[in-house]
A and B are shown apart, each in its own frame.
Chain A
């Protein structure tokens, strides 16, 4: 048994990821924000290099399970199947939230529709609702604006609101700014963008409801914190066991006021109290 343990220790040493380097992989939605956080972190800790790669949430989680990286980015919670597989391989995934992703649904400011249910929003993006009059608005055709399929936002909005395929008529824009410009110039336009892109005039931010009774705005921080705004979700990072060493220093930076300021600058919501408390329990 002693020999076996010695071999295990030795091989673990051989396979340990390089000291002074933190490797992060996963969610494409989190790629830019993590890169920004990594740059800011490296400015304060030049002895630690953080390399960030995309590939998708599933890839990020698998990369942690297979000891490829110290941190896996995921814009969704780890699945029971993935935890089960990880635990069978001796890996204990631990979850940290670093930001909250929330999408704003925008319309032209001259459009009188200011509130929608998630069901109505889904019907609009599936192409079932083709005219604003069907949801209490003017007799005007709906023009759909969205992102391209390689965007995490495209996938997030589809999962949370569309829940099926987007209508073929949706214009696939390169980024948030293009969507805002499109909707500004289109009286029948509707689009979805990050919270950092709704400061300009010419557009309205729609209040949303899951139950048709309680509507909330993504600009209302308390609604996002309370989880009542339907298009908000935490963005996670996963590690094998409680995070240690250089990776811990990086995650702590992400959660610090300086890190959370970057989160807001990148158009995401900062962590709410319950997520902060949950993180602290895992540190």
Chain B
């Protein structure tokens, strides 16, 4: 085991990590979040439906800068999950190469990298829960692709244009369709303390993959084939804004997300005994439209040691009915609100990133389903993060 860990560390160091600023420098970084979650209906904290401790994040990152023009980063997520035989697995979260472009402050990035949509890519988990787009499955926080990233002159903002797989960093191989996702993101800071922006992505439907080649068999041995499924076209738009005034800030976004699912299926004809006699192929299309708001007010106190935050989110899901009308799916529409605080025992040098912090958050989720009880979640989290820079000459 020790040998494996040592070999892994060496491999990471060899591959390169994080924000190494000078040529020849390599940086190693660790992010560890240890969380206790208590979830119950209507504040039944002593009679919870969920009460567990877990490692919410366990990232080891390594980056290397060869020269002012070339930089690479690798982030490995050592995640705990019952999906793996030993209760833990490894996922690649970042693995990319940055190349400086002839335009000042612009780079071309290729590999598994941030997905520059809405707040998800700059979400720094000041609130320990995920961003709205992440939580509602609009998109993943990173994906395979090629992007052009740049900063506008005089700190006026940032711009990203990208072509991604579109399925997210967890999906590879045959799970990836041939239709690329196109993305654009712009954030502008016209004045200190005011930031506005918008992101958009679109992915065309794709008939070349997701062919469902499974064959079914009824109990009496009659064979039939299933139709093609899940050929989706997706589109999302998310305007955002942030206002910062001294130690107080308010960050928010509005997400619009829609997709169309085209699929086919075989309706089975049966005889009086219930046995399948034959089948008829039907083709269908169904639209889905979602929208939501996410607001995070934050107040920093005691020289940014102590942060108090709130959270308010909504999510509404509409589905196309058989008659073609878009109807709200109340079971999957909700409102969330809550509050919490962070205490930073130590921040990393420069104060921009956490070092050792304690986070506590309460979130109430109220489904719009009639008669549904609110679900209260408490998260208590220790956040341990460090980095170390290695120079080539050391």
- Chain A residues engaging chain B, CB cutoff 8 angstroms: 4-5, 7-9, 11-12, 14-15, 55-56, 58-63, 65-68, 79-84, 86-93, 148-150, 155, 158-159, 163-166, 172
Contacts and interface: CB of A to CB of B under 8 A. Distances in A.
Contacts, number: 125
Interface of B: 21-24, 67-68, 104-105, 151-158, 187, 189, 191-193, 195, 242, 244-249, 299-304, 347, 349-352, 391-394
A12 B247 CA distance: 6
A82 B156 CA distance: 11
Contacts of B352: 62, 65-66
Contacts of B347: 66
A79 B105 contact: yes
A87 B247 contact: no
B240 to A, nearest CB: 11
A5 B391 CA distance: 46
Contacts of B303: 15, 67-68
A4 B350 contact: no
**Main secondary structure on chain A at its contact with chain B?**
helix
Nearest to A150: B391
Max chain A Cβ within 10 angstroms of own Cβ: one of B22, B248, B302, B349: B349
Nearest to B392: A165
A55 B191 contact: no
Q: Give me the 8 closest cross-chain CB pairs, A-B, nearest first.
A: A83-B155, A62-B350, A90-B244, A90-B193, A80-B151, A66-B351, A92-B192, A59-B350
Contact of B153 (A4, A80, A166): A80
A84 B152 contact: yes
Contact of B245 (A8, A81, A88): A8
A135 B236 CA distance: 60
B302 A81 contact: no
30 contacts: A5-B245, A8-B245, A8-B246, A8-B247, A9-B246, A15-B304, A55-B350, A56-B21, A59-B349, A62-B350, A66-B304, A66-B347, A67-B303, A68-B350, A81-B105, A81-B158, A84-B152, A84-B156, A84-B189, A86-B155, A87-B191, A87-B193, A88-B187, A90-B192, A90-B244, A90-B249, A149-B391, A150-B391, A163-B23, A165-B24
Given A79-B151, A80-B153, 11 more contacts: A15-B247, A15-B304, A56-B349, A60-B350, A62-B351, A65-B352, A66-B347, A84-B152, A84-B157, A86-B192, A149-B392
A15 B305 CA distance: 10
A87 B189 contact: yes
B176 to A, nearest CB: 31
A83 B351 CA distance: 16
Contacts of A81: 105, 151, 158
A62 B244 CA distance: 17
Contacts of A92: 192
B300 A11 contact: yes
B191 to A, nearest CB: 7
Contacts of B247: 8, 11-12, 15
Given A11-B300, A66-B351, A87 B195 contact: yes
B245 A155 contact: no
A67 B304 contact: yes
Given A66-B304, A80-B155, A166-B393, A90 B245 contact: yes
Nearest to A166: B393
Nearest to A69: B351
A84 B153 CA distance: 9
Contact of B158 (A14, A84, A163): A84
A172 B392 CA distance: 13
A9 B247 CA distance: 9
A14 B302 contact: yes
B21 A88 contact: no
A31 to B, nearest CB: 14
